[in-house]
Amino acid sequence: MNQSESRDTDSGQPPIEQVIERVRKIYGGWTRTTTVEQMRRDWDDLFWTDAFPATGQEIFAVGVDATWIDATTAGSEKVLLYFHGGGFQVGSVKSHRDLMARLSAAANCRVLGVNYRRAPEHRFPAPIEDAVAAYQWLQTQGFAPEHIAFAGDSAGGGLVLSTMLALRGKGLPLPAAGVALSAWTDLAATGGSYETRAQADPIHQRRMILAMAKNYLGEADARDPLASPLYADLRGLPPLLLQVGDRETVLDDSRNFAEKALAAGVEVKLEVWDEMIHVFQQFTTELPQARSAIESIGDFLKKVWHQGGTH
Amino acid sequence: MRRFVTEGAVVVFAAQDMVSAQALVGETGAVAVRLDVSDLQAAHYAVTSNGPFDILVNNAGIDQHAFFTKTTMEEWRYLLAVNLEAVFATTHAALPAMQDKGFGRIINISSEAGRMGSRGGSVYAAAKGGVHAFTRSIARENGCKGITANVVAPGPVDTPLLRKAVDQGGEKLLEVMKASTLLGRLGTPEEVAAVVAFLASNEAAFITGEVIGVSGGMGCGQ
| CB proximity B33 to A under 8 Å | yes
State yes or no: pLDDT of A86 exceeds 90: yes
Strands (E), B7-146: 12-15, 31-34, 55-58, 104-109
Nearest by CB to residue B25, choosing from A57, A60, A68, is A60
| pLDDT, chain A, mean | 93
In a domain, B159, yes or no: yes
In a domain, B39, yes or no: no
In a domain, B114, yes or no: yes
Least confident stretch, A104-108, B5-9, B62-66, B110-114: B62-66
Residue A10, pLDDT score? 55
Determine whether B45 is an active site residue: no
In a domain, B13, yes or no: no
Residue B151, pLDDT score? 98
State yes or no: pLDDT of A3 exceeds 80: no
Chain B residues with CB-CB distance to A58 below 8 A: 18, 33-34
Q: Rounded mean pLDDT of A55-72? A: 92
The nearest alpha carbon in chain A to B43 belongs to: A57
Nearest by CB to residue A58, choosing from B26, B33, B50, is B33
Chain B residues with CB-CB distance to A110 below 8 A: 49
| CB proximity B22 to A under 8 Å | yes
**Short-list A37, A42, A52, A40, CA closest to A92:** A40
**Short-list A151, A111, A106, CA closest to A291:** A106
Give the Cα separation of A66 and A81 in Å (integer): 10
* Among A residues 76-135, those touching chain B with beta carbons less than 8 Å apart: 110
Give B219 or A220, the one with higher predicted confidence.
Answer: A220
B18/A58 CB distance under 8 A: yes
| CB proximity A57 to B under 8 Å | yes
The nearest alpha carbon in chain B to A77 belongs to: B49
Half-sphere exposure of B202 (CA within 13 A, CB side): 1
In a domain, B44, yes or no: no
> How confident is residue B2, by pLDDT bands cut at 50, 70 and 90?
confident
> Distances from the Cα of A108 to the Cαs of A111, A275, A295, A297, in angstroms?
9, 28, 11, 11
Q: Rounded mean pLDDT of A190-202? A: 95
Residues 6+ apart with CB under 8 A from B167: none
In a domain, B130, yes or no: yes
Catalytic residue IDs of A? 154, 248, 278
In a domain, B6, yes or no: no
Residue A7, pLDDT score? 47
CB pairs under 8 A between A and B: 41
CA A250 to chain centre: 13
The nearest alpha carbon in chain B to A79 belongs to: B49
Domains along the sequence of chain A with CATH: 15-304 (3.40.50.1820)
In a domain, B17, yes or no: no
Residue A309, pLDDT score? 44
Global pTM? 0.86
> How confident is residue A28, by pLDDT bands cut at 50, 70 and 90?
confident
> How confident is residue A32, by pLDDT bands cut at 50, 70 and 90?
confident
Structural domain boundaries enclosing B183: 53-214
- How close is the nearest chain A Cα to the Cα of B101, in Å? 17
B49/A61 CB distance under 8 A: no
The nearest alpha carbon in chain A to B53 belongs to: A141
Cβ–Cβ < 8 Å for B185, B147: no
Q: Report phi then psi at A41, rounded to 5.
A: -65, -45
* Number of domains forming the structure of chain B: 1
State yes or no: pLDDT of A93 exceeds 80: yes
Residue B89, pLDDT score? 96
- How close is the nearest chain A Cα to the Cα of B39, in Å? 12
Summarize pLDDT for B113-139 with one digit per residue, the tens.
999 999 999 999 999 999 999 999 999
State yes or no: pLDDT of B22 exceeds 90: no
Chain A residues with CB-CB distance to B21 below 8 A: 60
Residue type, B136: R
What's the CATH code of the domain at B57?
3.40.50.720
